[in-house]
Amino acid sequence: MKPHISAVDYDRKKRNGNPFMFILKTAFLVVVAVVTPQCAGMSSHPLQGQEAPSFSLRLMDGGMLNLSEHLGKRPIVLDFWAVWCPACRAGLPNLAAVVEQFKKEDVMICSVNMGDTRDGIASFLKNSSVKLPVAMDERNAVGGAYQVESIPTKILINREGKVAHVIVGTLGESALSEAIRKLL
């Protein structure tokens, strides 16, 4: 006669099964959680290869960014970010270093803040000692036109005015510099 196992006993054995399998399953989930966001930046974007949408936005320094003045003339890098985004805040010093590195090159690099107030942006920049051009997309209209679904997102536009690359997530200074050099 077979021993009787109640549903409760069976469920308990199933949950408390092999500890090695538990560790293996947990490790797999951790790898998926870490790698998936990194790979998201590598996937194709609907605007890749398309004409870059033109726009005009106010700059923090009081001027205007009219993208049409740059499209088709020089490579352009747009970095979409927000003050509340930890990954964005961590990546802005790299962007500022790249802006400084390429200041004598014929490339336009600008950060595009999505939805923060002027005072919030100014306070963040002052406290973080980051110096870079900031265009203010107060209603997220430009982010919508560029189909930005996650931040930080970098849009790299080639000399012909077409979206060459869309990078979702943070990018180190050397990797961003290399991506820009390929556009020059």
Domain borders along the chain are 7-40, 56-183
Residue 143 pLDDT = 96
**pLDDT tens for each residue of 88-118:** 999 999 999 999 999 999 999 999 999 999 9
- Tens of pLDDT along the chain (184 residues) come to 544 444 444 444 445 556 666 565 555 554 444 444 444 444 588 889 899 999 999 999 999 999 999 999 999 999 999 999 999 999 999 999 999 999 999 999 999 999 999 999 999 999 998 999 999 999 999 999 999 999 999 999 999 999 999 999 988 999 999 999 999 9
Residue 41 pLDDT = 45
Is this structure's pTM higher than 0.85? Answer: no
Q: Kindly state which CATH superfamily the domain 56-183 is placed in.
A: Glutaredoxin (3.40.30.10)
3-state secondary structure the chain: CCCCCCHHHHHHHHHCCCHHHHHHHHHHHHHHHHHHHHHHCCCCCCCCCCECCCCEEEECCCCEEEHHHCCCCCCEEEEEECCCCHHHHHHHHHHHHHHHHCCCCCCEEEEEEECCCHHHHHHHHHHHCCCCCEEEECCCHHHHHCCCCCCCEEEEECCCCEEEEEEECCCCHHHHHHHHHHHC
